[in-house]
Each structure stands twice: as C-alpha cells, then as structure tokens.
Amino acid sequence: MTEQVQQLAKHCLNYRDASPLRANFQLVTTLTLFVIACFAMYQSLAIGYWLTLLLSFPTAGLVLRLFIIQHDCGHGSFYANNNLNDWVGRCLSLITITPYAYWRRLHALHHASSSNLDKRGYGDIDTLTVAEYNALPLLRRIGYRIYRNPFFLMLVGGPVHFAILQRLPLAFEKPSLQMWISCLGLNVAMAFFYGGLIWYVGWQAFLMMALPVILVSCSVGVWLFYIQHQFEDAHWETSEHWDRKTAALYGSSYYALPKILQWFTGNIGIHHVHHLCSSIPNYRLQECLDDEPELKSINYLTIKDSLRFAHLALWDEDAKKLVPFPARG
C-alpha cells in the first residue's frame, strides 16, 4: 500500500459518523416522493399509458435511491444504531425486492475481494482475462460475449437477477440458514404486500406500472455497478499482490454524474471513496470528496467516458488494463 493510499484512507475515516437528522430526512423524503410517484402512475393510467411510462423513470430513480439507503444499512453506515439499520434495510426490501441479509453478505464479500483476480465471483460482473477467454471452447466464448454485451446485462441480466435469481440464495454453494430465511421470508412478505396491491388495483394495472419501473431501475442499477468497476484503467491483481485499500481506491471509479442523477443514485458514483471506506454514509460522500481534491482526479469518469468504455470485456494481464474482445475469436 502506497503512502498516498494510506493518507487518503486516513482522510476518509473522518466522515464515518452517521447523522440521524440527515438519515431520517433522506429516508422520509424519498419514501414520500416514491408514494406520490406511484399514486401519480396509477392516476395516469386513466389519461394515457404514455404518461405512465414517462412517470416510470422518476419512480425507478426513487427505487434506486431507496436501494442505496438499503445498501448503506447493510454496511451499518446509514444510522449509528445497527439494529435500526437492519430494520430499515429489511423494510426497504419490499420495494427494492432485494433480500436484505442475503444481499448484505454477498455485498460484503464483494468489498472483501474486489479487483482480486483469484477471488472473482461474489457480487461481480464476471470478467475473464485474455488468456482465460482464449482457452474457452467456441460455444463458451460466444456465451461470454453475449453475457458481456451491455444491452444484455442491463435489459436482461439486471431484471432477471433482481426479480428472479434473488428469490433463492443461489450465489452461495452452501447457503446458511440466515440466507434462506432472508430470501424466503422476503418472498412471503412480497406475496402478501403485492398480492394486496394487485387485489386493490387489479393485476393488469399493477403490471403496467410495476414492469417498467422494475426494468428501468434494474437496468440502471446494473449499469452503475458495471461502470464503477469496468473501465480501461481499472485495477486487478492476484492475491499475492492484492491490497484491499489499493484495490478499493484504484479498482473503483469516480463516476461524475449531473446533480439530479447524483441525487437519484445516492452519490454512489463516488464509488472509489465508498470502497475505500464503506462506513461513510451516502449523504457524506460528497463532503469527503470535496475536502480532498486529490480524490477527484482518481478514475474520473463522465457519462461520455463511460459509454466509450462499455465495450471493454477482458482483463489484459500484460498491459494491466481492460480491453475489448479481439476482432476474431
């Protein structure tokens, strides 16, 4: 670990304290706006489905913001009280359709192994090295190409992962009892909660509102996670040379979004700071970034940059960077 990483990590430690006032304000305002947006979508069905689809975008944005709050609860950073974090995180699961304890464990493994070539597979977008890809048989190379296509990841992979695969703890070879309870408990709660909504508004109206929100929120969420670790000068190392803080800082991007998008995404674009110190609540990430200008120059990405990097798919161990698929093969 370099002296620069040590200094920046030390700086981040000053922003770990949670603020009950700011946390409550963020939670209440986001939930209130979400309820208003859902009500507006329901009323819009009588006007025209084009308006419903239009309203699905801000509604999906609010789902993303609630997911970031749940994410912070999983890190124990949203509130200072861990029990309160857990209860808020579990309740938000009904909206994010993400089992809290299951996801919290999977995400913790992601933080503990991010950018480690020998420990891929936990909460990551699958990434092969050039050598690994070249060693695959033809059909598996084709499968990996399909999987790594950004449109497939966003429009198919995201919704399938959140809406279907998370219903069971499939990411673990031997899921613990807590993982099963987390997934199955949420399934039961969703059956009652959404069953009641379907009974009240009708299944057609429910699907007309829910499906576009799920598609947009899942797709954007996967894109954010994708680009926050998939950029040309990303950092990957084998276990022998891997250092957690170095990997956190240089293996995650600073995705500089317009203020309105930064609000909807709960500052998660300041991802290198989040990985360097995951105990910083989302509402203090900008403050941490502003107080240390050096952080703004590390892995800085604009939306234009991110679109340019979307085709990168393989880690070149010799060049130490992500590269696109070869022209042939």
If phi > 0 it is left, if psi is from -120 to 50 it is alpha, else beta; for residue 323 that is beta
Q: Read off the tokens for 277.
A: 């110190």
d(CA 82, CA 18): 11
Q: Tens digits of per-residue pLDDT, 23-67? A: 999 999 999 999 999 999 999 999 999 999 999 999 999 999 999
Q: Tens digits of per-residue pLDDT, 185-228? A: 999 999 999 999 999 999 999 999 999 999 999 999 999 989 99
Bridge partners (DSSP) of residue 270 are 254
pLDDT number for residue 327: 66
Task: Report how far apart, in Å, the C-alpha atoms of 1 and of each of 6, 8, 229, 250, 259 are.
Answer: 7, 11, 20, 11, 33
d(CA 154, CA 158): 5
Q: Rounded to two decimals, what is the model's pTM?
A: 0.94
pLDDT number for residue 174: 84
Give pLDDT < 70 ranges for the chain.
Answer: 1, 327-329
**Position 325: which residue type?**
F
Given a contact cutoff of 8 angstroms between Cβ atoms, the answer to whether 294 and 8 are in contact is yes
pLDDT number for residue 1: 61
pLDDT number for residue 171: 79
pLDDT number for residue 125: 86
Task: Name the one residue in this structure whose structure tokens are 């939930």.
Answer: 31
If phi > 0 it is left, if psi is from -120 to 50 it is alpha, else beta; for residue 60 that is alpha
Of 293, 312, 309, 292, the residue nearest 301 (C-alpha): 309
